[in-house]
A = this chain, B = another copy of it.
Amino acid sequence: MNILIVGLGLMGGSYAMGLTQKGHKVYACDINTESIEYAKYNKLIVDGSTDASTYIPNMDMIIIGLYPNHIVDFLKKNSKLFKKGQIITDLCGIKTYFLEEAQRYCGEAEYISHHPMAGREKSGVVHSNIEMFKKANFLITPTEKNTDYAIEMMKALGLDLEFGRISVVTPEHHDAIIAYTSQLTHAIAVSLVNADTDVDSKNFVGDSYRDLTRIAKINEELWSELFFDNKEALLKKIGDFERELDEIKAALANGDKELLKKKFISSTNHRKEME
C-alpha cells in the first residue's frame, strides 16, 4: 500500500518504521523539515514534504498523527482531495470529541478511528521504535458509518505493526475506559508530585513512588487538550476515585481496620485478574 503519515513525531515515526519494514511505501508530511530529512535519511519513509496535497491523491491510507484539535483542521483543508476507496485514520487518544466532525470532512474517503495504547516519555521522530507496540493494546473505534472493509483494514494495520492485542469498541466506551485507565492515572501522578511539600522527600523514595510518578513528566500541550476533550468522562472517574480514597481515609479516621483490610484484599484480587 501507499501510506501517508501526517505528523512525524514519536508515534508517526514509529508507524513509518513498522510499516516500511512490512513492505509498504510510506510517505510523510510535517511542518518540521528536519523531521522529514531524518526519516528519509534513516529510510523510515520513501519521501516527505511540508505539504500533504501532492501525496494525498495517490494514497491508499492516510494516518494522521496530529494533536486532536488539528485533525479536523487538516481534514477541512484537504477534504476535496480525498478519494473513494481511501482510508483515513488517526492515532488520537480520545474519540467522541472530534470523530463526528472528522467523518463529515473526509470527502469521498472513509474515516475510521483507532488508538494505539503505547507511548514513551520521549517525543520526536528520532526516538521512533516499534518495540513499544509488542505488548500494547490497539483499539479500533468504528461508528455506524464505517464499513466492514474499513474495520478489516484497521485490523491489518494493527497486525502489521505487531500490536499485542487488537480490539473493537465503540467511541463512547473507548472514552470512558481511557478516562479511567489513562487520563485519571496521569491526573493522579501529577497531583501526587505536586503535593510534595518536603524538599528532602525526593531522596527518600522507593520503587512504588518512582513507578507511580513516572508519568508526572507530561507534555502539557497535548495532555491539557486530551483532558478537556474528554472532560465529562474524566470528571466522573476522578469522582469515583476520590470516593474510594475517602473510604480509606474514613476507615483510618474511625479506626476501622477490617474495612481497610477489605479494601486491600479487593484491590489485590482485582489487580491479579489483570495479569
User: In whole angstroms, how far apart are the Cα atoms of A213 and B215 in the complex?
Assistant: 13
Which residues in B have their C-beta under 8 angstroms from that of A260?
A: 220, 224, 227-228
What residues of B have a CB within 8 angstroms of the CB of A34 in the complex?
Answer: none
Smallest CB–CB gap between A68 and chain B, Å? 13
Binary contact readout A133-145 vs B (1 if CB under 8 angstroms, 0 otherwise): 0001101000000
Asked whether A152 is an interface residue with its Cβ less than 8 Å from the other chain, the reply is: no
**Size bracket, chain A contacts:** 35 or more
Task: Tell me the bound Cα distance from A27 to B237 in angstroms.
Answer: 51
A202 to chain B, nearest CB (A): 5
Complex alpha-carbon distance, A215 and B270, angstroms: 12
Q: Mark A201-230, 1 if CB is under 8 A from B, else 0.
A: 111111111111111111111011001100
> Does chain B have a CB within 8 A of A54?
no
The CA-CA distance from A216 to B208 in the complex, in Å, is 10
A84–B198 Cα distance when bound, in Å, is 38
Are A252 and B235 interface neighbours, CB within 8 A?
yes
Q: A123 at the A/B interface (Cβ < 8 Å)?
A: no
Q: Nearest Cβ distance between residue A266 and chain B, in whole angstroms?
A: 6
A257 is an interface residue with CB less than 8 A from chain B: yes
Whether the Cβ atoms of B193 and A224 lie closer than 8 Å is no
At the interface, yes or no: A196 with Cβ under 8 Å from chain B?
yes
B167 touches A203 (CB 8 A): yes
User: Is there an interface contact between B193 and A245, defined as CB atoms closer than 8 Å?
Assistant: no
Point out the residue from B137, B210, B267 that lies within 8 Å of A217, measured CB to CB: B267
Looking at the assembled complex, report how far the CB atom of A238 sits from the nearest CB atom of chain B, in whole angstroms: 5
For A271, give its contact among B182, B213, B243 (CB under 8 Å). B213
For A191, what are the chain B residues with a Cβ–Cβ distance below 8 Å?
241, 244-245, 247-248, 263, 267
| Residues of the B chain whose Cβ atoms lie less than 8 Å from the Cβ of A234 | 252
Tell me the number of copies of this protein. Answer: 2
The residue from B206, B227, B237, B257 contacting A136, defined by CB atoms under 8 A apart: B206
Closest chain-B Cβ to A75's Cβ sits at a distance in Å of 23
**Among listed A16-24, A39-47, A102-110, A172-180, interface-contacting one:** A172-180
Q: List 24 A-B contacts (CB under 8 A).
A: A119-B207, A137-B203, A169-B200, A181-B206, A185-B192, A185-B208, A185-B209, A188-B245, A190-B267, A192-B244, A196-B270, A197-B240, A202-B273, A216-B267, A218-B264, A221-B261, A224-B257, A224-B264, A227-B260, A228-B252, A228-B257, A235-B253, A238-B245, A238-B249
Interface residues in chain A, defined as those with a beta carbon under 8 Å from any beta carbon in chain B: 117-119, 136-137, 139, 165, 167, 169, 173-174, 176-178, 180-182, 184-198, 200-221, 223-224, 227-228, 231, 234-235, 237-238, 240-245, 247-249, 252-253, 255, 257, 260-261, 263-268, 270-274
